[in-house]
Structure 1
Amino acid sequence: MNVYSSAHELASAIKASNEFMDYDKLRKEIEQDPTLNQMISDIQKRQIEIQAKQLSGEEIGQEAMAQMQSMYAMMSSNPKAAEYMQAEARFAIMMKDVYEILSDVVKINI
């Protein structure tokens, strides 16, 4: 068995999955709307900042959490943005599951 061939098969299977196709379709639609694209980008950047602070042991203030909640509420009120975020979450869960399967086999923690 060639590991690289199997990896390419897995990549093709992921690309053909409903999770990826839905996410990719919506991502391309979002990219066509500069305002919506920027709003989602801002939320994602803020989320990464908060996660980085949490990982470094820094406490997240109420103001930062309230800001995130406000951003999510605003985004949730836009049906296309909400649909995109749901598709992104489904794709991320599938990828996490694949990573866990692979890491369990070789006994490493990713």
Structure 2
Amino acid sequence: MNVYDEAHKLTQAIRESEEYKQYQAIKEKVKENPQLEASLNDFKSKQLALQAGQMMGQQMDQEAMAQIQSLYTILAQDPLAAEYLQCEMRFSLMINDVYQILSEVIDLGIKGMGGDAANGN
């Protein structure tokens, strides 16, 4: 079994999944509405910035969180934006599940100094 061939099969399976197909289709619809596309990009950019800050140990910015929630509420009122956000979430969950499965083999034993890596296992 060639790992690279299997990786390409995984890529193909993802492309053939309903989550991927629906996400790609809704992305094309959103591209037809530049104002909505810009609003969604702004929302995602602010959301990613907040998440990146949290991952770096920064305290949660309540004002930024409120702004993101407000943007989400506004976007969710637009049927196309709501559908986009739902499709994006379903696709992201599927990809996250794949990452979780892959992380089982990618585990390099770096779970803290008291774990198996420290014991030479």
> TM-score scaled by structure 1?
0.92
Q: Which residue of 1 aligns with 2:119?
A: none
Letter aligned with residue 16 of structure 1:
E
Q: Which residue of 2 aligns with 1:98?
A: 98
The CA deviation string for residues 52-81 of structure 1, in whole angstroms up to 9 with x for no partner, is 221222222322111111100000000100
TM superposition shift of 1:6: 0.9
Match status 1:54 vs 2:54: yes
Moved more, 50-59 or 76-85: 50-59
Structure 2 Cα separation of the partners of residues 15 and 61 of structure 1: 37
Structure 2 Cα separation of the partners of residues 106 and 10 of structure 1: 16
Q: Which residue of 2 aligns with 1:83?
A: 83
Q: Which has the higher contact order (CA 8 A, sep 6+)?
A: 1
Moved more, 39-48 or 55-64: 55-64
Runs of at least 4 residues off by over 4 Å: none
Q: Which residue of 2 aligns with 1:27?
A: 27
Structure 2 Cα separation of the partners of residues 91 and 49 of structure 1: 20
Output the aligned Cα RMSD.
Answer: 1.3
Long gaps (5+) in structure 2:
111-121
The CA deviation string for residues 60-104 of structure 1, in whole angstroms up to 9 with x for no partner, is 232211111110000000010010111001001101111111111
Long gaps (5+) in structure 1:
none
TM superposition shift of 1:105: 3.0
Q: Which has the higher helix share?
A: 1
SS in 1 for 2:58: coil
SS in 2 for 1:58: coil
The higher radius of gyration belongs to 2
